[in-house]
């Protein structure tokens, strides 16, 4: 309690917290694999943290970063193998045209840089298209591009230069036509006297509610956007890097290749780093005489963190694990869904999954109250941590470290099943 009070007085009052029973955030002091340990020794199963991609405090990543920090940590002005090795590793996973890397420090910085590159490449075009419910970052330029924020509490509404495509909803059969959505955004820009320079889209919409795009959706949207001259930016800050199981990058499942890829959270396994990847042509237009320098982006330790994380991901076959455990989890959740009408939709890819909580399967009305209660009860009674998200706050979000095992998946589903069956967390669902 004492620590929470000190935190409240020393950190900004709207700093995000994960609170459970008693209104106090968990006091986590140690992490290992998919497990977190509280100051009182209680263990929790972490089904939320997609940053600890290869597992909390993976010894090999920690060792690589520590070794680099006690040897040298400087910036990209100097020649060093670590940043080049990791850039090459990253590019080896990507389509041929994505070849040039820019190091930054966070997902927000990465998307902001994507916007800069797009505006330089498309002089005169200043408007941007995004998806409903999207979140692309916390800096001013990206609050503007994030309906999740500008339409939410404290938000200032939609800027005139931003055009929002409605989010496809396969569960309710709504907004599935990518071409129509793209055309409307393009025409909206024209009607406002502008032109689109870019279309930003997550390949699985995370804050949007763990939405898997319908087959061919991005192909249709990209075609329209490119005909307009807009660049297509794939934000894979959350969903990419092997999490989807079937593919390393989720845009591949849509049979498209973006003009700019933005990454973040998982690539340094918790070391604050991020990389933007683009084509030689766009990198050339960005090199307009102004030097690109970033004090911490591409520091020597970032290269070490990125490379070690990448090597562990490959050696421990964690993408394959995400596919196998993800399929098992999806299957078990689908079985549970048959017993509980409030589990309206179960969806996802690999270890990026969502459960849509509804009042009943006929109206499909979002039930945010029940979703919040499920999250609370799973944490308090079973020590299983899940998140709640989506525009109606009714999506149970599952995105654990990729070392999540079959046993962990079973524990998650058993906890949810118990909470639902006990009736404590629902009105008879
Ligand atoms: N894009 C997406 C899809 C995100 O989920 C986030 C972070 N939640 C960001 C961008 C911004 O990343 P960061 O918090 O590292 O700035």
The rounded distance, in Å, linking the Cα atoms of 362 and 375 is 24
Q: How far apart are CA 158 and CA 147, in angstroms?
A: 7
pLDDT at 1: 67
pLDDT number for residue 19: 76
Looking at the CA of residue 239, tell me the nearest atom of ligand 1.
Answer: 3
Look up residue 214 and give its DSSP letter: P
Tell which one of 142, 143, 238 to mutate to probe ligand 1, the residue whose CB is within 8 A of the most ligand atoms: 238
Please tell me the pTM assigned to this model.
0.97
The three-class DSSP label of residue 367 is coil
- For ligand 1, the distance from its centroid to the CA atom of residue 146, given in whole angstroms, is 11
The pLDDT score that the predictor gives to residue 396 is: 98
**What is the whole-number distance in angstroms between the Cα of residue 71 and the centre of ligand 1?**
30
ipTM score over 0.90, yes or no = yes
Q: Tell me, what DSSP letter sits at residue 391? A: T
What sign for the dihedral angle of Cα 263, 265, 269, 272? positive
pLDDT at 22 (0 to 100): 74
HSE (CB half, 13 Å, CA atoms) of 13? 0
Q: For the chain, which residues score pLDDT lower than 70?
A: 1, 424-429
Q: Taking CB atoms and a 6 Å cutoff, what residues make up the pocket around ligand 1? A: 106-108, 111, 135-138, 202, 206, 235, 237-238, 264
How is residue 40 written in tokens? 């009182």
CA 277 – CA 272 distance, rounded (Å): 17
Asked if residue 214 lies in contact with residue 170, where contact means CB atoms within 8 angstroms, the answer is yes
Distance 237 CA to ligand 1 centre (A): 6
Q: Are residues 181 and 218 in contact, defined by beta-carbon separation less than 8 angstroms?
A: no
Spatial CA neighbour of 279 closest among 235, 241, 231, 224: 231
Contact 61, 401 (CB under 8 A): no
| Domains in the chain with CATH codes | 2-54+317-422 (3.90.1150.10), 59-315 (3.40.640.10)
Task: Supply the pLDDT for residue 428.
Answer: 55
* Residue whose C-alpha is closest to residue 419's, from 387, 364, 376, 366: 376
Question: What is the spatial distance between Cα 260 and Cα 424, in angstroms, rounded to a whole number?
Answer: 47
Q: Give pLDDT, residue 18.
A: 80
- Which atom in ligand 1 lies closest to the alpha carbon of residue 139? 16
């Amino acid at each position: 309690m004492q620590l929470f009070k000190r935190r409240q007085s020393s950190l900004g009052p709207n700093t995000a917290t994960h609170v459970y029973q008693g209104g106090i955030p968990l006091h986590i002091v140690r992490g290992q694999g998919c497990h977190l340990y509280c100051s009182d020794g209680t263990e929790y199963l972490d089904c939320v943290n997609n940053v600890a991609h290869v597992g909390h405090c993976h010894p090999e990543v920690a060792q690589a970063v520590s070794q680099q920090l006690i040897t040298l940590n400087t910036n990209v002005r100097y020649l060093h193998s670590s940043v080049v090795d990791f850039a090459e590793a990253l590019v080896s996973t990507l389509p041929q045209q994505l070849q040039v890397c820019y190091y930054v420090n966070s997902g927000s910085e990465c998307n902001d840089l994507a916007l800069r590159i797009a505006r330089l490449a498309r002089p005169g075009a200043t408007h941007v298209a995004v998806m409903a419910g999207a979140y692309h970052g916390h800096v001013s330029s990206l609050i503007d591009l994030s309906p999740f924020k500008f339409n939410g509490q404290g938000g200032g509404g939609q800027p005139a230069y931003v055009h929002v495509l409605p989010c496809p909803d396969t569960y309710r059969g709504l907004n599935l036509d990518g071409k129509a959505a793209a055309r409307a955004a393009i025409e909206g820009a024209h009607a406002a006297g502008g032109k689109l320079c870019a279309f930003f889209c997550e390949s699985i919409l995370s804050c949007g509610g763990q939405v898997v795009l319908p087959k061919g959706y991005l192909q249709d949207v990209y075609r329209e956007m490119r005909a307009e001259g807009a660049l297509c930016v794939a934000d894979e800050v959350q969903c990419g890097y092997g999490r989807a199981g079937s593919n390393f990058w989720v845009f591949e499942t849509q049979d498209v290749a973006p003009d700019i890829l933005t990454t973040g959270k998982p690539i340094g396994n918790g070391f604050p780093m991020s990389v933007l990847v683009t084509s030689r042509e766009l990198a050339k237009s960005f090199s307009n005489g102004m030097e690109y320098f970033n004090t911490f982006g591409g520091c020597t330790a970032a290269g070490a963190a990125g490379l070690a994380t990448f090597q562990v991901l490959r050696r421990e076959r964690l993408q394959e694990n995400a596919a196998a455990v993800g399929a098992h989890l999806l299957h078990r959740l689908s079985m549970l869904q048959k017993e509980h009408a409030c589990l309206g939709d179960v969806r996802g890819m690999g270890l990026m999954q969502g459960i849509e909580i509804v009042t009943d399967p006929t109206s499909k009305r979002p039930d945010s109250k029940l979703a919040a209660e499920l999250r609370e009860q799973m944490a308090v009674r079973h020590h299983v941590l899940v998140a709640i998200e989506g525009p109606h706050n009714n999506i149970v979000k599952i995105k654990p470290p990729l070392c999540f095992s079959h046993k962990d998946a079973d524990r998650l589903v058993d906890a949810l099943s118990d909470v639902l069956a006990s009736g404590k967390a629902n009105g008879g669902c």
